[in-house]
Amino acid sequence: MIRNLLIASSALALTMLTGCKPEQPAATTAASAAVPVTAANVTDARLLNAGAEPGQWLTVGGTYNEQHFSPLDQITRDNVGKLGLAWFADYDTNLSQQGTPLYVDGVIYVSTAWSKVYAFDAHDGKQLWQYDPRTPGQFAPKICCGIVNRGIAAYKGKIYLGSLDGYLIAIDAKTGQEAWRKLTIDPSKPYSITSAPRIIKGKVVIGNSGGEFGVRGYIGAYDADTGEQAWRFYTVPGNPAEPFENKAMEMAAKTWGGKWWELGGGGTVWDAIVYDAEHDLVIFGTGNGSPWNQRLRDPTGGDNLFIASIVAVKADTGEYVWHYQTTPGDTWDYDAMSPIMLVDITRDNQKRKVLMQPNKNGMFYVLDAGTGELLKADPFTAVNWNDGVDMKSGRPRVKPEARYDNEKAFNLAPGVQGAHGWHANAYNPDTGLVYIATQRAYFVMQGQNNFVPNPGAANLGINMGAGAAYTKDHPDAPRDFVGFLSAWDPIQGKEVWHGETGNGPTGGVLATAGGLVFQGGGNTTKEFRAYDAKTGEKVWTMDPQTGVVAAPISYELDGKQYIAASVGIAATNYYAPNYSRLLVFGIDGKAQLPEPVTYTPPPLNPPELTASADEVAAGSKHYNNYCVICHGQNGQARTATFPNLMTTPMLHSQEGFDAIVLGGVRSAKGMASFADKLKPAETSALRSFLIAEANELKKRQPPVAPPAPIQPADAHAGLGADSNKK
C-alpha cells in the first residue's frame, strides 16, 4: 500500500506539519452568500446520465465510468496557446493537494490537506465557505503516507467527505455546515481515510487505509441521508476461531496460513472504487498484505485472498460476486489500488463492458466487468518479477528469485514505488488510448532478520537498508525512479507515445474531446501542461509555482470551457511555502499569480556526538520502528509534510526533544506523543542516532557559502504525501 513508502516518507515520528488546530468541533468559514439555493443538486438520475451533461463534473472521475474524460471541445490544439489563468484561490496549507475538484451548477467544491473542503463561485473564484473537520493533530502517526485527501462526493444538496480520522461526513452544500458524521473505523486501530467516497444508489461507499500498520481491510456502504451502515465487505478473513461473516470469507481463509489475523492481514480499500451500473456492481481494488513480506505473514505461501485483488460485490447488499487477484501471495507491496475505469469495447465482434487497470505491479489488465474474466495482461513499464501471465489460469509466472529471502536481495521492478500509484488515468474514446501516469522504478527487496510484529507501527518485514549494500556490490544495477505520461493502446497492448521523463511520480490526467491531455508535472517538475492526444507533442505549458499531482477537471460556464486544477505539493522544507491553490484556466484568461517568495532553510549544525556506538545502534532500531515512515531514511525528510530531523534545533536539547517525543507538545501539529512506545532512555538513544547521522551528513558535504534561498519543490524520495501510496 505504501504507494511509496519509500519515496520520501517515514512512519510516525517526531514533529509533523502545519495547518492543524487542536481538537475541537468542526468549523465552517463563510465568505459569501452567493451559493445557489439548489446547491449540489446531484440526483441518482444525474449520476447515471452524467455523460449527457458534459459541462458538469459531478463525481471524482467525471462519470461512473471514471474515465476522466471531458466531452467539451472548445479548447483545442489550435487555440490552446491562448489558454490563460482566469482566476485562482489560495488554500490555508503548505501540504500536498491530491483532491480532484467537483463542479456542480456554477460552484466548484474541492478537498485539501487535513480533510478540509472549500466551495468557490466558479464565475470569479470567490470563496463561498470552508469546512474544517478539526481532525486531531495527534492522529497523524496513524497515517501512512501524507496528510492528504483525494476527493469528495456530491449528492442531494450535500458534500460527502472521508476524514483522516475515519469519519464519513455530510456537509450542507449551501452553507458549509456539518449535517452529520459517522465513525466508520475502530478508533483503537490505526485506520485512516484519504480516498474519495462514491455515491451509489443512495449510499455513500468508502474504504480506508492502514495496511502497513496491521489492520483488516474492508469497504462499506452508508445511507446518504443518515450515515447508517448499509453493508460492509471485509477483504481478508478474520480469526478462523470465530464465525466467518460470509461464504466469501470462508473461501478466502483457505488461502491463508499462519496467524495472519494477529496483524489484521491488510487488504485495505484506500482508493479505486467504481460503479458498473450495467451489472449493478461495486468494483474495487484491494491493498497489500500485512506485513509486506509474505514469509512473515503466511509461511505456507498461500494466495492470501483478497489482498492485491480486484473484487466485485452487489451494490445493494455488498454480497461477493467475483474477484481477480492481480498478485497472488503478494510480497512486494503490489496493491491493486491504482484507479479502475470502465470502457465499452468491441472484441471478437462483440460489444462488452470491460474494466481497465494499469496496476502497481507493472501489468495493464483488461477484465470483463460482469464476470471478472481476464481478457488481457501486458507489461506497460519495466517488469522483472514475472515473465508474463498465464491467460488460462490468470496467474503471473513469478520468477523464483523475485521471492526474496533474508539472505539474497532482489532488485525489484517495479519497486514498491510502483509502476503506477493513486494518480488518475484518462481514456479518450476518440483515440482509444489510455493515458497513464507511469513510473519506472527499482527497489531492492530483502527479508528482515529478527522481525518482531509491532501492532500499531509499520510492519513491513523487509530490510530497508538493503539498497545501499546491494548498490555497493552491484554498481551497475538499475536504480531508476522516474515518471512519465504514457499513451497506451489497451487493445494492442502497446505504448503509442510517452511524454518527457522526470524524477518521481507525475500527476493525474484529464483527456478532452478537444484532442488534448492535461497533466501536472508531479513531484519534481513545477509545470502544468497539455499534450496532443494523438502524437504526444507538448502544446501548452504554464508555471504553477508548485508541483501538480491531482487530476484536473473541465467544465462549462456561461457557454465557455474551463480547466481547473488543485495544485500544491509538500515543499522541500517543513517551514517553506508551497503555493497550494485552485487554478482555473480559460481561453484568453488574463489573471497573474503573485511573485513567489524565497525561503532559506536552516543550516546543518548538529551537536558533537558523545554517545557510544551501542547507543547509536539502539537508537537506529527505535528510529526504524517508529520514525522512518514519516521522517524518511536517516531523518532527512525531503518535504514539508515532516521536518528534516538533521537540522532540527531539538538535536541540541534532550529536554526539548523529549518534550516533543514523549510530552506531545506538538500534537496539535500532528506529532503525537510516543510515551506509550518509548522510554526516556530510548529517546536518548534515538536522539544520539540522529546526531550521529547529522554529523556523518555534515562530513560528506563540501564547505559552502551560506545556503541560497530555495523554492518549494516536492522531491518525494521516500514515502510521503505525494508518494504513490494510500
Catalytic center residues: 333
The bridge status of strand 69-70 relative to strand 509-512 is: parallel
- Going by the DSSP 8-state scheme, the letter that residue 230 receives in this structure is E
Cα–Cα distance measured from residue 173 to residue 36, given in angstroms and rounded to the nearest whole number? 9
Asked if residues 508 and 529 have their Cβ atoms less than 8 Å apart, the reply is: no
Cα–Cα distance measured from residue 698 to residue 696, given in angstroms and rounded to the nearest whole number? 5
Asked if residues 106 and 123 have their Cβ atoms less than 8 Å apart, the reply is: yes
**Which bin fits 304, alpha (ψ -120 to 50), beta or left (φ > 0)?**
left
> Nearest Cα to 674, choosing from 197, 310, 138?
138
Asked if residues 524 and 84 have their Cβ atoms less than 8 Å apart, the reply is: no
- Going by the DSSP 8-state scheme, the letter that residue 672 receives in this structure is -
Neighbours of 452 (CB within 10 A): 7
Q: ∠ CA(474), CA(478), CA(483), 5° rounding?
A: 155
Percent composition of the chain: helix, strand, coil (DSSP 3-state, to 5): 15, 30, 55
| Encoded amino acid at 30, one letter | A
| Encoded amino acid at 638, one letter | R
Angle between helices 680-700 and 654-661 (to 10 degrees): 120
Phi/psi of residue 616, each to 5°? Answer: -65, -40
Cα–Cα distance measured from residue 29 to residue 35, given in angstroms and rounded to the nearest whole number? 13
Q: Is 37 helix (H, G, I), strand (E, B) or coil?
A: coil
Cα–Cα distance measured from residue 48 to residue 38, given in angstroms and rounded to the nearest whole number? 19
C-alpha cell belonging to residue 543:
508555471
Counted residue by residue, the chain has a size of: 726
Q: Which residues contact 24 (CB under 8 A, 6 or more apart)?
A: 134
End-to-end distance of the chain based on CA atoms, in angstroms? Answer: 6
C-alpha cell belonging to residue 36:
445557489
Cα–Cα distance measured from residue 159 to residue 60, given in angstroms and rounded to the nearest whole number? 12
Q: Is 130 helix (H, G, I), strand (E, B) or coil?
A: strand
Q: If 0-12 CB within 10 Å is exposed, 13-18 middle and 19+ buried, where does residue 721 land?
A: buried
Phi/psi of residue 619, each to 5°? Answer: -65, -35
> Nearest Cα to 352, choosing from 491, 222, 523, 445?
491
Report in angstroms the alpha-carbon separations of 98 from 113, 187, 194, 466: 8, 24, 9, 31
Burial 368-397 (b: 16+ CB within 10 A, else e): bbbebebbbbbbbbbbbbbeebeeeebebe
Cα–Cα distance measured from residue 539 to residue 552, given in angstroms and rounded to the nearest whole number? 17
